[in-house]
Copies of this chain bind each other. A is one copy, B any other.
Amino acid sequence: MQDTKHKKMKAISQEFTAKFQYDVFFSQNIFQIDNPLLRDLLSSENTEGKRKALFVLDNGVHEAHPDLQKQIVAYCFAHSDVIDLRTVPILVPGGEKSKNDYSLVDYLLKEIDEFGICRHSYIVGIGGGAVLDMVGFAATIAHRGIRHIRIPTTVLAQNDSGVGVKNSINFFNKKNFLGTFSPPQAVINDVSFLSTLHPRDWRAGISEALKVALIKDEGFFREIQANVSNYEQRESHAMESLIYKCAVLHLNHISGGGDPFERDSARPLDFGHWAAHKLEQMSNYRLRHGEAVAIGIALDVTYAHLSGLLPEDAWKEIIVLIEELGFRLYVPELSQNIDNGSDSDSILAGIEEFREHLGGQLSITLIDRIGHGLEVHEIDRRLMTQSIHTLKAHHESLMALEE
């Protein structure tokens, strides 16, 4: 009798789908009072009452645009029938620093509490990818998720991290140890922020476009090849096109890949990233993320070539393009301790760290032609070391020519 009952009551299967939708807008001067974009966004969901808003501003953006805080206040004042600005835009340090410092998350949570920001209010982050990651994390854990709007201000954030669904901070000295998958309410790419970027930041974002072109779209690779001098001359239409195409490829990957919240182990968009993450850390963040990604790509295409996957012509085309874009192919950290016989304290430790972060089986993306990525589940340490020596030798020849 009891057994029957238990059999009958054995399990309830719970199943549901959740729909996620957000727009990535392209605009300019979005805090000019007559630009209706942000106003319309905040009033779109509810006809009744004002929406509370909290703005968090990357200090680097603040320094390049000292009037921005005032503009934001003026914009909200002009649209105060819709926007209830709770306090002046909050400044936070820019760059990876903002992700390394948990006290910033704590600080934002305190502001969220103090200013009565609720699940139907808005938190607007303005800055580089690191600041948006950190603000997104605070927003998505407060009240189990406050609506957040991302306004990325660098090439890298506009074409890559800023348009996606991930939020995170570093913890225990580990990249992205804490975080959530939680889509933003909207993303606004404002081209006017790009003009004040430092040349390194202007360039660094190109490497994510190169990455996605290499694994998904040969035509896009050809466009990047054809526009090297336009990027160099900071021609904004060329860069806007690059950002738009890269964002589309990135967004399509999330929506069409069948794994928006990364439950599986394959992570094609992390092409070139196992080495990049480790290099950033080994260089104590002297290298920008995009600069490290360029080296990571150079390393993995060299490995793909030496392992017989990628034909020589394609490999050379890629290496030449990375150089022409102004990136380094090699930094000393790349060969640090690699001939020791153990992975520890060398770039090769990044392979295991990458596997650990994703969990499960190792999955590294390589390419077998321009525009086509594929996954491998093993890395031959000897061949990877040879790839590093190949890049180093090529780099030294180039340096000798420059002297």
| Chain A residues within CB distance 8 Å of chain B | 5-6, 9-28, 46, 48, 109-110, 113, 116, 118-121, 140-145, 163, 166, 168, 171-172, 174, 176-181, 183, 237, 240, 244, 247-248, 251, 254-256, 260-262, 265, 356-361
- 8 smallest CB-CB distances across A and B, nearest first, come from A118-B359, A120-B359, A16-B255, A119-B359, A120-B360, A144-B179, A12-B24, A9-B26
Docked Cα-Cα span, A107 to B341, in Å, equals: 36
Residue of B nearest to A174 (CB): B113
Say yes or no: B11 contacts A26, CB within 8 Å. Answer: yes
Question: Given the complex, which residues of B lie within 8 Å of A168, measured CB to CB?
Answer: 144
Q: Once the chains bind, are B18 and A20 in contact (CB under 8 Å)?
A: yes
Tell whether, in the assembled complex, residue A171 and residue B109 are in contact, meaning their CB atoms are under 8 Å apart: yes
A23 to B14, CA, bound (A): 6
Contact residues in B for A251 (Cβ distance below 8 Å): 12, 14
The answer to whether B18 and A17 touch across the interface, beta carbons within 8 angstroms, is yes
B179 touches A166 (CB 8 A): no
**Given the complex, which residues of B lie within 8 Å of A140, measured CB to CB?**
180
Pick the contact of A357: B5, B13, B118, B176 (CB < 8 A).
B118
Q: Taking the nearest CB of chain B, how far is it from the CB of A45, in angstroms?
A: 9
Inter-subunit contact A17/B14 (CB<8 Å): no
Contact for A15 among B15, B163, B255, B265, CB less than 8 A: B255
Residue in A141, A183, A256 whose Cβ sees the most chain B Cβ within 10 Å: A141
A17 in contact with B15 (CB, 8 Å): no
The winner among A15, A166, A358 for most chain B CB atoms within 10 A is A15
Residues of B within 8 A of A261 (CB): 18, 145
Residues of chain B contacted by A358 (CB below 8 angstroms): 118-120
For this chain, the copies found in one complex come to 2
Q: Is A24's CB under 8 angstroms from B14's CB? A: yes
What B residues does A171 contact at CB under 8 A? Answer: 109, 113
Please tell me if the beta carbons of A179 and B141 are within 8 angstroms of each other in the complex.
Answer: yes
The answer to whether B12 and A16 touch across the interface, beta carbons within 8 angstroms, is no
Q: Quick check: B28 and A21 within 8 Å, CB to CB?
A: no
Q: Complex: how many Å from CA A28 to CA B121?
A: 45
Contact B20 A12 (CB under 8 A): no
| Cβ contact of A144, chosen from B172, B181, B254, cutoff 8 A | B181
A-B contact list, 12 entries, CB within 8 Å: A11-B26, A12-B24, A12-B247, A13-B23, A14-B254, A15-B19, A15-B255, A118-B360, A120-B360, A142-B177, A142-B178, A180-B180
**Cβ contacts under 8 Å, A15 to chain B:** 19-21, 255
Considering the chains assembled together, what is the distance between the CA atoms of A12 and B141 in angstroms? 26
**Assembly CA distance A60 to B293 (angstroms):** 50
Shortest beta-carbon distance from A198 to chain B in Å: 25
Is the CB–CB distance between B10 and A25 below 8 Å? Answer: yes
Inter-chain contact A21/B14, CB cutoff 8 Å: yes
Contact (Cβ within 8 A) B14 A22: yes
A177-B20 contact in complex given A9-B244, A28-B6, C-beta closer than 8 Å: no
Interfacial chain B residues near A254, Cβ < 8 Å: 14, 16
Contacts of A20 in B (CB 8 A): 14-18
Complex formed: what's the CA distance from A13 to B247 in Å?
Answer: 11
In the complex, the answer to whether B166 meets A144 with C-beta atoms within 8 Å is yes
Nearest CB in chain B: distance from A164 CB, A = 9
A116-B356, A144-B176, A356-B118 are known contacts. Are A248 and B12 too (CB-CB below 8 A)?
yes
* Given A12-B23, A14-B183, A109-B172, 9 more pairs with CB closer than 8 A: A11-B24, A11-B25, A12-B244, A12-B247, A14-B23, A17-B20, A109-B178, A142-B178, A144-B168
Which residues of B lie under 8 Å from residue A177 when comparing CB positions?
109, 113, 142-143
